[in-house]
Amino acid sequence: MPETLFINATLARLDRESGYGLCEHGALLVEAGRIAWLGPMSDQPAVGDAEVIDCAGRLLTPGLIDCHSHLVYGGDRADEFEMRLEGASYAQIAQQGGGILATVNATRAASEAELFEQSLPRLDALLAEGVTTFEIKSGYGLDSDNEIKMLRVARQLERERKIRVQKTFLGAHALPPEYAGRSADYIERVCDEMLPRAHAEGLVDAVDVFIESIAFSLEQGAKVFDCAQALGLPIKAHAEQLSDLGGAVMAAQRGALSVDHIEYLAADDVARLAQSETVAVLLPGAFYVLRETQLPPLAALRQHKVPMALGSDANPGSSPITSLLLVMNMACTLFRLTPAEALRGVTINAARALGLQSEIGSLEVGKQADIVLWNAAKPSMLSYQIGINPCAAVMQAGRWRNQAGLEK
């Protein structure tokens, strides 16, 4: 693999406790798929026959990381969107077979090939904005075969596009219709059959549970975590999205990688999160689409230095969004994150939320060379603009993935 030397770059290294870690007039050397050196051009080491990329002052960041998505699913829910705007209530839509269960039906009905074909454009939209690592959850199959089918599609997307996909088992996302009124039985099935089978196929990097009044209880969540941890798998939780059931603290006390949504997390509980390494994953896309008004406890998260990450939450119901740049903008506008917090949220802190911080998420010597060159001179541009894609070129593990905007 040839060496690549970037020169005249504005490096956002994301290598410190806060801020961008900017280095202007910087250079960065890639060797054997890893970052071999970076720093001011004035200190640049001599290199042999490396490919030299003159960035002309433009910005280089680590590859973006979408640490929370449900982008593998069948069908869409545009009709429901339309019905709601024409005055139908959520309950009416549910009675007509809408909501999560509509997506469960469409996902179950789709073959693996159809699911792949439907999911690829969503993945490609995120890829085009410089995303190099994805997390993709199951959770619309809700039985062994269909959960495994979803995770196989996630693996196939990873292989097809030569990206990194972390696969998360979310069997406890909703109660399938055949278990109506028998949620304890379903959780037993998740623990005794569905999760062990998916894990045996090597399809599970982490286990997530939707702990919510409309989904599973705190005790049921804890039970699934017991099973996950007995298999040696990391855990994470959808928690405190619509109400405060204590899911985030319970998950953090068990060493969860992340707790996600957390709009209803009490500020007083944030100190308890800070006692673990758990990352707070904020999902402004769902907040926007559901027109929520309860903000996550941002002041407390900052005060206790809980790392904050951002995800697309790409899903057909509450977040039909496949733009991580738009999510960064929403995080700034709706949650009042600073642009530096937003960029950290889709790089180093997103890496932490996936347990991959020693490998990706910042520009540091030894890390995998996942690098984006932007048609922008400063990092605030990434959060500021809506509807333009400034991604010029993407390198993944030292190989060019998209170099359309690259001038050599």
Interface residues toward ligand DI6, by CB under 6 A = 100, 103, 173, 210, 238, 241, 286, 315-318
Which one, 147 or 313, has the nearer CB to Fe ion? Answer: 313
Strands 391-396 and 51-54: unpaired
Residue 318 contact among ligand DI6, Fe ion, none, beta carbon within 5 to 8 Å by kind = ligand DI6
In the Cβ-directed half-sphere of 248, how many Cα atoms lie within 13 Å?
Answer: 34
Beta pairing class for 64-66 and 131-137 = parallel
- Is the CB of 95 or the CB of 303 nearer to ligand DI6? 95
| Residue 208 touches Fe ion, criterion: CB under 5 A | no
C-beta closer to Fe ion: residue 11 or 309:
309
Rounded to the nearest whole angstrom, what is the least distance from the CB of residue 138 to ligand DI6 in the complex? 12
Bridge-based pairing state of the strands 59-62 and 64-66 = unpaired
Q: For the window 311-330, what string marks contact with Fe ion as x by the rule CB under 5 A?
A: --x-----------------
Q: Which of residues 284-313 bind Fe ion (CB under 5 A)?
A: 313
Q: CB nearest Fe ion: which residue? A: 313
Dihedral in degrees, nearest 10, Cα atoms 8, 14, 18, 22? 0
Residue that is written with structure tokens 């890639």 in the block: 30
* 84: exposed, middle or buried (Cβ count in 10 Å: 0-12, 13-18, 19+): middle
* 23 touches, from ligand DI6, Fe ion, none (C-beta below 5 to 8 Å by class): none
Q: Which of residues 140-159 bind Fe ion (CB under 5 A)?
A: none
Nearer to ligand DI6, 173 or 199 (CB): 173
Burial class (CB in 10 A: 0-12, 13-18, 19+), 65: buried
Question: Of 307, 217, 309, nearest to 261 (Cα)?
Answer: 309
Residues 6+ apart with CB under 8 A from 16: none
With CB under 5 to 8 Å by kind, the binding choice for 100 among ligand DI6, Fe ion, none is ligand DI6
- Residue among 179 and 400 whose Cβ is closer to ligand DI6: 179
Least Å from the CB of residue 314 to ligand DI6: 10
Angle separating helix axes 144-161 and 100-109, nearest 10 degrees: 70
Is the Cβ of residue 297 or residue 316 nearer to ligand DI6 in the bound state?
316
- Token duo for residue 285: 């896309």
Q: How many residues bind Fe ion, per CB under 5 A?
A: 1
CB 108 → Fe ion: shortest distance, Å?
19
What is the binding site for Fe ion (CB under 5 A)?
A: 313
